[in-house]
Amino acid sequence: NKSQDSGIAEMEELPVPHNIKISNITCDSFKISWDMDSKSKDRITHYFIDLNKKENKNSNKFKHKDVPTKLVAKAVPLPMTVRGHWFLSPRTEYTVAVQTASKQVDGDYVVSEWSEIIEFCTADYSKVHLTQLLEKAEVIAGRMLKLSVFYRNQHKEYFDYVREHHGNAMPPSVKDNSGSHGSPISGKLEGTFFSCNTEFNTGKPPQDSPYGRYRFEVAAEKLFNPNTNLYFGDFYCMYTAYHYVILVIAPVGSPGDEFCKQRLPQLNIKDNKFLTCDEEDGVMVYHHAQDVILEVIYTDPVDLSLGTVAEITGHQLMSLSTANAKKDPSCKTCNISVGR
């Protein structure tokens, strides 16, 4: 019997998947379907699916046709959801290829040839995932301290450039890739970073900064008030004991507001664990969380005439810089149980 003597003959009889379609992509799952000839279709018992990060796509080429792939799935109706079999990373390019297989009496598999290799990219964290991060951040935020200003440290050349080339208004720039790999604001949201943390003993901004010896200070109410919305953007650490929370302040109805409304959990500006704005006796009063370092992104241009620029007296602590910082994927405090 030729089929018993030659796995190749069997392999040729099994239909090869083609026209592969990937859909319903999330940060840690996707649906896959494909077409195949009806010939010997009823003999298919399993699908072999090989998934690799794009840079390793040559690993699809096995030396032996019967080497089991990373996922052996029972032949279920298509499309099939792939979830949890790998630690899929968000916002990552992958390649995928498929074989059909027939399980034999002795437990071995006879397989088709590999399909073509398809490329796709996983998605950002959804609001559901960000809400999980938000809940973890709330646990460690600590008590609230008063603040009166937002501030931004840069080199003198930066402020000179803003005055000369941008009509005195700090232009929003695209957020870098620091923080969680799945954050939907990285590389997409435009804004200007501000700090608002204060020193516990003075109630004022610290005199040290990793970002330059010149500081723009602006009264909190100029940027954060009932005409702005507040969003939670990220929660991360960089292999350190302290944690960072990214918040976004967006003027109501602005392009930044519309961007965030679709992607980020919105916070009540009067009642949240990180940064609040409330009125007491006709005066706006502001508080920030003590036990996390807040990074605040303001989504509209900010004119330097709204505040003051002055040199700080402290040190430039480069070790505190978060520019393109990589999140610690092993930290139990600030990671959630989806792809890193």
Which one, of 32, 136, 19, lies nearest residue 81 by Cα?
32
Q: Which among 232, 210, 244 has a CA at the least distance from the CA of 128?
A: 232
**Is the separation of the CB atoms in 189 and 178 below 8 Å?**
no
Which residues of the chain, if any, have pLDDT below 50?
1-11, 57, 59-69, 340
pLDDT of residue 216: 95
- The per-residue pLDDT for range 272-285, each reduced to its tens digit, is 999 999 988 888 99
Residue type, 63: K
Show the domains of the chain with their CATH numbers. Answer: 18-122 (2.60.40.10), 127-311 (no CATH)
pLDDT of residue 1: 44
Q: What pLDDT does 317 receive?
A: 57
**90-117 residue pLDDT tens:** 888 999 999 999 988 888 888 889 999 9
- Total length of the chain: 340
- DSSP letters along 171-216, please? PPEE--S-B-TT-TTTTT-EEEEEE----TTTSS--S--SS-SEEE
Cα separations in angstroms, 308 against 100, 219, 251: 67, 10, 21
Give Rg (Cα) of the chain. Answer: 27
pLDDT of residue 192: 95
| Residue 248 φ/ψ, nearest 5 degrees | -120, 125
Predicted local distance difference test score (pLDDT) of residue 5: 47
pLDDT computed for residue 108 by the predictor: 87
> Is the separation of the CB atoms in 52 and 59 below 8 Å?
yes
What torsion, rounded to 10 degrees, do the Cα atoms 161, 165, 170, 172 define?
Answer: -110
Three-state secondary-structure class, residue 233: strand
Q: By the 8 A CB rule, do 322 and 295 touch?
A: yes
Q: Say what the pLDDT of residue 324 is.
A: 63
At 85 the pLDDT is 59
